[in-house]
Amino acid sequence: MISELRDVTGFRGEKIVELCLTDYQAFPKPLFRPGFLGDKWPAIDFYVELTAVRGKRPYFFGQTKATTSALTAGSTNLIITTKKNDIDRLLQIPGPTYILGVHEPSKRVFVRSVHSGIPVKAITIIPLAYELTSVNLRRLYDEVLNFWSTTDYKPKYSVFA
pLDDT tens string, the chain, 161 residues long: the values are: 666 667 788 899 999 999 999 999 999 999 999 999 987 788 999 999 999 999 889 999 999 999 999 898 899 999 999 999 999 999 999 999 999 999 999 999 999 999 999 989 999 999 999 999 999 999 999 999 999 998 877 778 888 88
What is the C-alpha radius of gyration for the chain, rounded to an integer number of angstroms? 16
Residue-number span of the structural domain to which 70 is assigned: 2-133
Number of domains in the chain: 1
Picking from 12, 139, 145, 20, the residue whose alpha carbon sits closest to that of residue 66 is 12
Establish if 61 belongs to a structural domain.
yes
Pairing mode of beta strands 77-79, 125-127: antiparallel
Establish if 47 belongs to a structural domain.
yes
Establish if 140 belongs to a structural domain.
no
Establish if 145 belongs to a structural domain.
no
pLDDT at 4: 67
Establish if 142 belongs to a structural domain.
no
Q: How many Cα neighbours within 13 Å face the side chain of 95?
A: 17
> For residues 91-123, b (16+ Cβ closer than 10 Å) or e, as one string?
eeeeebbbbbbbbbeeebbbbbbbeeeeeeeeb
d(CA 64, CA 62): 6
| pTM, full prediction | 0.92
Q: How many CB atoms lie within 10 A of CB 53?
A: 14
Establish if 72 belongs to a structural domain.
yes
| Domain harbouring 110, CATH code | 3.40.1350.10
Establish if 155 belongs to a structural domain.
no
Establish if 51 belongs to a structural domain.
yes
